[in-house]
Amino acid sequence: MEEQQARIASAAVAPRPVRVAIAEAQGLMCAEEVVTERPLPGFDQAAIDGYAVRSVDVLGMGGDSDLDADETRNRDISLPVMGTIEAGARTPSRLQPRQAARVQTGAPMPTLADAVLPLRWTDGGQSRVRVLRGVRSGAYVRRAGDDVQPGDVAVRAGTIIGAAQVGLLAAVGRERVQVHPRPRLSVMCVGGELVDISRTPGNGQVYDVNSYALAAAGRDAGAEVNRVGIVTTEPNKLREIVEGQLNRAEAVVIAGAVGGAAAEGVRSVLAQLGDMEVARIAMHPGSVQGFGQLGPERVPVFLLPANPVSALVVFEVMVRPLIRLSLGKRQPTRRVVQARTLSPISSVAGRKGYLRGQLMRDQDTGEYLVQALGGEPGSSSHLLATLAEANCLVVIPTDAEQVRTGEVVDVAFLAQRG
């Protein structure tokens, strides 16, 4: 397991950077140092609704008073209101000594004003305002450059762009940003028994499940997915299709190419394009799988089992981490917690198990509990219904053949539903 995962991880390469609109950058890794050209905010502005004042004119009232209580009660400060300054006002204004100006949140501060008096500390007067409590210099004012100064790095290269980064890019006036785009993943499957879901299966035929399920898994991992669907195993046509996908993708997944005569033919075609190894990996389900790097660009190519459940588990354990690494994620694997088993679990000795399960939490103790799904190894490994019900994979150590009720095991979260 560890050898195969290390080999795959070493093949992960972030796609070449592209410049996109900031609205399309969320979830992607920034590929440049975004340096701010102007201060943020660009001017002194009111942080709350209230009155712009000179702090020296209102000090000595209420909580900011250095006077005793009697002196404070005897003071009655009221200031004439020169007008109202709204957010977005562009005409400069100037405050005279012992004057106030009504200001909205975000409004530019008038010259000489150095504080904002909150409405709750006044009588709310329109032409004249009575001061109930004073403020100190700088109170409730956002100074120019408080957030970012010219020359500061707003978003660093290697940062995953989230909502806060998008907001900061907008705040500093950036319409576009250079990012590492989502890795492109091509998904196809082989098998003479397969028909697309748009057709009615004949005798001995089954619907193509893998290309749809694996494409969905790829999107969930963060890839830009091209679902090629069912492809022919005729050597010349297959080679043409695969070469076309190698030219357009950072990773390729081919399901149904690790067992049977058809798979042998597929592997012989792929061998013409680079190094491809099919091996039995010490895991279950999906122990037989293939990995190689094909074409001039040495694109990672995965060969997955035909069994849809096995294919999805192998994708989760092997393919998904490569996609996450290509996105620049520091932690490419799912979150793992420890949970106590609610029933016995059987595994395969010598192979690390990834078994479907339902994870829950004890409301009283907060302890994680897990119920394994699917029965004995191999008894229902093909059942998609139990995988659809699962919200986790129970990870069973390589040397464990039986896990008793009440034992603690590692559990990997799957994507949350709803």
Which pLDDT score is estimated for 418? 38
Residue for token pair 């995965």: 302
Contacts of 342 (CB under 8 A, 6+ apart): 369, 370, 371, 405
Q: Are 255 and 314 in contact (CB under 8 A)?
A: no
Q: How confident is the model at residue 75 (pLDDT cuts 50, 70, 90)?
A: low
Count helices and strands in the chain by DSSP H and E runs: 10, 28
Q: Among 374, 373, 357, 365, which Cα is nearest to 410's?
A: 357
| Residue 224: closest CA among 323, 333, 319, 330 | 323
| 34-35 vs 128-131, strand pairing mode | unpaired
- Using DSSP's 3-state secondary structure scheme, residue 312 falls into helix
Query: Please, which pLDDT band fits residue 415 given cuts at 50, 70 and 90?
Result: low
Q: What is the pLDDT of residue 150?
A: 85
123-127, 192-196, 307-311, 385-389: least confident range: 385-389
Is 352 within 8 Å of 398 (Cβ atoms)?
yes
Residue 412 pLDDT: 93
User: Residue 217: its pLDDT value, please?
Assistant: 95
Give pLDDT, residue 35: 87
CA separation for the pair 237, 34 (Å, rounded) = 46
Dump pLDDT digits (tens) for 102-116. 999 999 999 999 999
When pLDDT is cut at 50, 70 and 90, the band that residue 65 belongs to is: very low
Name residue 5's amino acid: Q
As given in the structure block, the two tokens for residue 378 are 């191999």
Q: Kindly report, residue by residue over 20-61, the tens digit of the pLDDT.
A: 999 999 988 899 999 888 888 888 999 999 999 999 998 876
Please report where in the chains the tokens 């560890």 appear, as a residue: 2
**123-175 residue pLDDT tens:** 989 999 999 998 999 999 999 888 778 888 889 988 889 999 999 899 888 99
> Three-state SS for 300?
strand
The pLDDT value given to residue 74: 46
Q: Residue type at 197?
A: I
**What is residue 107's predicted lDDT score, i.e. its pLDDT?**
93
- The predicted model scores a pTM of 0.74
CA–CA dist 127, 82 (Å, integer): 7
Using only the alpha carbons of the chain, give its radius of gyration.
Answer: 32
pLDDT of residue 67: 42
In this prediction, residue 71 has a pLDDT band, given cuts at 50, 70 and 90, of: very low
pLDDT band for position 376 (50/70/90)?
A: low
Helix (H, G, I), strand (E, B) or coil at 408: strand
Residue count (the chain): 418
pLDDT at site 205: 86
Q: What is the mean pLDDT of residues 172-187?
A: 92
**Could you identify the residue written with the tokens 């909502």?**
163
Q: Is 129 left (phi over 0), alpha (psi -120 to 50) or beta?
A: beta
Which pLDDT belongs to residue 89?
Answer: 87
Round to whole Å and give the CA distance between 76 and 61.
Answer: 9
pLDDT on residue 383: 57
What's the chain's average pLDDT? 88
Give the DSSP H or E segment for 270: helix 260-271
| % the chain with pLDDT above 70 | 92
Rounded percentage of the chain residues whose pLDDT exceeds 90:
61
pLDDT tens sequence across 330-362: 788 899 999 999 999 998 989 999 999 999 998
The pLDDT tens digits of the residues spanning 281-297 come to 999 999 999 999 999 99
Q: What is the pLDDT of residues 196-228, one digit of tens each?
A: 989 888 898 889 999 999 999 999 999 999 999
What's the one-letter identity of residue 374? G
Question: What pLDDT score was predicted for residue 63?
Answer: 53
- Coil, strand, or helix at residue 236? helix
Question: What is residue 68's predicted lDDT score, i.e. its pLDDT?
Answer: 45
pLDDT above 60: residue 320: yes
From 1, 13, 77, 87, select the one nearest 43 (Cα to Cα).
87
Residue 232 has pLDDT above 60, yes or no: yes
**pLDDT tens digits, 28-37:** 889 999 988 8
Question: Does the pLDDT at position 14 exceed 70?
Answer: yes
CA atoms 326, 331, 333, 334: torsion sign: negative
pLDDT at 384: 64
Identify the three-state secondary structure at position 329.
coil
The count of other CB atoms within 10 Å of the CB of residue 202 is 8
